[in-house]
Structure 1
């Protein structure tokens, strides 16, 4: 069985050597670099010349970059694709263990190892959030010292280390280009479940994830990061193929328009600008198109 690991890099010199050292010899490696401005590209070329590297001329985002690597892997007959973040370190037998679990559980479209933080002192905070909210059996078995199952189903796990059979991409497609950074893994999981595949975590192997996830950060109102975070949340909610929320987009836009008008009456002109911007950012057509396309079976977004 052929396994290809796809890694998206962006200014990854802090992590990439440790990541690749832990991975070399376990699978074929494909790297898509999002126009790093540090030495990431030259380092990979000089130190790991056998790795297939796709260097981009601009930062095309996490999902689109992954789609390039996934497409190359599928064209070269990969049976499984391991999507791995640049800020991770895996165990020496991680890939073979993930393959064993995936081969024995063919109804799963995504399988993830356990994620610790970068120094293995605790679970990664994002991973902990998802198991706290969707995987009580794993928590109970771990705390009570019970024999752990090979795999535990849940509805969502962050995409730091996803092991996927090729059929997942043949049914679900690649990452939706509606998302640039953050939210693309939520959207992909929604689609996996819609197409009757399962998502699971396996305690058979643990990866270190030196994550700098900013999902709890409150950005200054009106800043670029503030609007990006707002828009990602809108996309995750209203582009969910499992819900009918996209039908409520007009109501949401009317809400922001009303709030903008009220702000003028109250002489709160900064609030007026914020709500007007939100009104303009919510694009009903793109959200509806995303839902419609993602309900279809096929290798969409992949070439």
Structure 2
């Protein structure tokens, strides 16, 4: 009799071959004592990711898309292919250590009230990475995306949303865990459904956790399981586009999970505040770049600094938004 697969590991990749290889090697090293399968869906990478699987990982299920499907759609493809009793959605820029997967499975078995469990995330230097958040609410979305975030009174609200006072060394129930590593059972999936494909990237895991909570289940943070997460390697490749997708996904989430009249009031307030902050930042960033250019006449090495590069990227985003998305933002959202 064939042993049933206990865990399905679903990974979506996009031009992160180097990190994906580290991720898979760590799984093969630390998950050999549990019956598992690895399913990789590649979003049309141009870095020879496909060749990696034909040469090195021939036993892993690899699904190549001819276009970038986004995170939710690609993960749903992997989930539909999965046969495990438990499923973990794992980012390609993660690294498994010791018994992290086994501990997450044990946690779900010990806590049947939990629909989702997430591990403690570690940065490359072993420091703790806070991937926990409260659910986005209309008020904190308004504050975080406008000049209001600079007012001390409102900074407390932002800290609360980011759960900065939460002790990351202790387990507990939370609103949401990071989508970098999120485990749930097939039973939860049958009750909640797949990821909402309305979200291309961002907030699909938040929406999933919200639906878990709405169904009467819990979301659990479990630091006895640790996973390294380099963070956002796929998203670094097109910063302008990613910032816009983040904004679109945030508004889609808020529209989905709030009453229509409340969302309408929010959007009436949000648009002018967001645009005011946007143009103030656009002007200030332009002035800072002008000063950089002036100082570079005396020391051109300043143009190689990280701060200058960051400001250039910000300014490029502002120009891209004005040229391509400003009218759409005013009219459509």
Normalization by structure 2: what TM-score?
0.67
RMSD (Å) for aligned C-alpha atoms: 3.1
Q: Do the aligned partners of 1:22 and 1:92 also contact (CA within 8 Å) in 2?
A: no
Corresponding residue of 1:57: 66
Q: Do the aligned partners of 2:14 and 2:45 also contact (CA within 8 Å) in 1?
A: yes
- 1:18 Cα offset (Å): 1.1
CA gap 1:191/1:255 in 2 versus in 1, 3 angstroms: same
The DSSP-based 3-state class of the residue aligned with 2:128 is: coil
Q: How does 1:1-303 map to 2 (within 5 A)?
A: 2-24=6-28, 25=32, 26=34, 27-73=36-82, 76=83, 78-120=84-126, 122-124=127-129, 126-127=130-131, 133-134=162-163, 138-139=167-168, 142=169, 151-212=171-232, 224-240=241-257, 243-244=258-259, 246-251=260-265, 276-282=327-333
CA gap 1:253/1:37 in 2 versus in 1, 3 angstroms: same
Q: Do the aligned partners of 1:35 and 1:57 also contact (CA within 8 Å) in 2?
A: yes
Normalization by structure 1: what TM-score?
0.73
- 1:95 Cα offset (Å): 1.6
List runs of 5+ in structure 1 lacking aligned partners.
Answer: 143-147, 260-269, 283-303
Q: Do the aligned partners of 2:132 and 2:176 also contact (CA within 8 Å) in 1?
A: no
List runs of 5+ in structure 2 lacking aligned partners.
Answer: 135-158, 274-320
Q: Do the aligned partners of 1:19 and 1:88 also contact (CA within 8 Å) in 2?
A: yes
CA gap 1:271/1:55 in 2 versus in 1, 3 angstroms: closer
CA separation in 1, counterparts of 2:322 and 2:95?
44
Q: Do the aligned partners of 1:135 and 1:153 also contact (CA within 8 Å) in 2?
A: no
The DSSP-based 3-state class of the residue aligned with 1:236 is: helix
Per-residue deviation, residues 104-147 of structure 1 (Å, max 9, x unmatched)? 11111111110011232x122x52666974596644xx4xxxxx
Q: Do the aligned partners of 2:8 and 2:87 also contact (CA within 8 Å) in 1?
A: yes
